[in-house]
Amino acid sequence: MTLEGELIRKCLSRTENQCSFLDHRQYKVIYRRYASLYFIVGVDNDDDVNELSFLEFIHNLVETLDKYFENVCELDIMFNIEKAHFIIDEIIMSGHITETNKANILNPVIAVVK
């Protein structure tokens, strides 16, 4: 069983009333559901991990994708995966969140894609 498959099954089996944080193997998993999209982030299982900051990261990512794709859905991501990767690359650099301003994230993405 692959790690990704295990995580997806675990997140899908949880109810809306359950917390969006869980421990899996050596990772702390933070996930959030937006309509039919699940965004899952795995981080080292460390005591000083701020789970709420990762929920904020996911929310910022979804808002940015939503702004770019004008109401993002799974088909937008599936058929435009390179654009989604450009957006993520503008937010994260070397494993660290470097930008959270949606305009600053989207300006270089729009310039490269056009």
CATH code, 93: 3.30.450.60
Full domain range(s) for residue 32: 3-113
Phi and psi torsions of 107, nearest 5°? -55, -50
Question: 60: buried, middle or exposed (CB in 10 Å: 19+, 13-18, 0-12)?
Answer: middle
pLDDT digits (tens, 9 = 90+) for 14-42: 998 999 999 998 899 999 999 889 999 99
| Confidence (pLDDT) at 1 | 59
Tally the domains of the chain: 1
Whole-angstrom distance, CA of residue 83 vs CA of residue 90: 11
Structure pTM?
A: 0.87
Count Cβ neighbours within 10 Å for each residue of 84-112 and write b for 16 or more, e otherwise. Answer: bebbeebbeeeeeeeeeebeebbeebeee
